[in-house]
């Protein structure tokens, strides 16, 4: 009984101590109907006040980062709309490959008109990008490269 109670208490503490995204409107001190001008004005004022170079408070750095994140979220109309609709925004970058359930059928039906081109159109890199970004890091970080060709051998013979 004591173990389950302490596990429950530990999980509650972990949940409340974890860094959940806070309300960006409250962070900047504006209403959820604030215009971009009001958001920008509030950000500038709070950034001046909480900048770590000007404020010697121990929580200045953390507060400044929270203010900057809130401004980044609210200044982007698409991310702000997502936050207003769903209450949270995925902070991971969306440049990676995404799952497409119809990927196997695009070959037969021509992509259903409007779905993404697939991973190959999105992930192309040039030789310069390869030599300057991937090759430099390859001795410490593994990379998976997939090479393909998009020409038809039958057409090439003509």
How far apart are the C-alpha atoms of 27 and 25, rounded to whole Å? 5
Q: Which domains does the chain have, with CATH numbers?
A: 2-86 (1.10.287.110), 118-157 (no CATH)
pLDDT at 58: 86
* Pure H helices in the chain: 2-17, 24-28, 36-50, 60-75, 77-86, 106-109, 119-122, 127-129, 135-137, 153-157
- The pLDDT tens digits for 39-80 are 999 999 999 999 989 888 888 889 999 999 999 999 999 888
- Closest by CA position to 124, among listed 100, 99, 95: 95
The mean-pLDDT minimum among 28-32, 113-117, 153-157 falls in 113-117
In which band, very low, low, confident or very high, does the pLDDT at 5 lie, cut at 50, 70 and 90?
Answer: low
């Amino acid at each position: 009984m004591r173990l389950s109670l302490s596990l429950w208490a530990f999980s509650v503490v972990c949940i409340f101590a974890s860094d959940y995204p806070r309300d960006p409107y409250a962070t900047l001190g504006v209403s959820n109907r604030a215009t971009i001008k009001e958001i920008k004005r509030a950000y500038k004022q709070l950034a001046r006040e909480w900048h770590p170079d000007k404020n010697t408070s121990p929580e200045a750095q953390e507060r400044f980062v929270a203010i900057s994140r809130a401004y980044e979220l609210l200044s982007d109309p698409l991310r702000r709309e997502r936050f207003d609709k769903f209450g949270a925004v995925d902070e991971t970058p969306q440049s990676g490959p995404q799952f497409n359930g119809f990927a196997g059928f695009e070959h037969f039906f021509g992509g259903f008109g409007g779905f993404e081109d697939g991973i190959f159109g999105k992930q192309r890199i040039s030789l310069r990008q390869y030599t300057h970004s991937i090759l430099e890091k390859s001795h410490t970080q593994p990379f998976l490269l997939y090479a393909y060709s998009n020409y038809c051998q039958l057409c090439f013979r003509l």
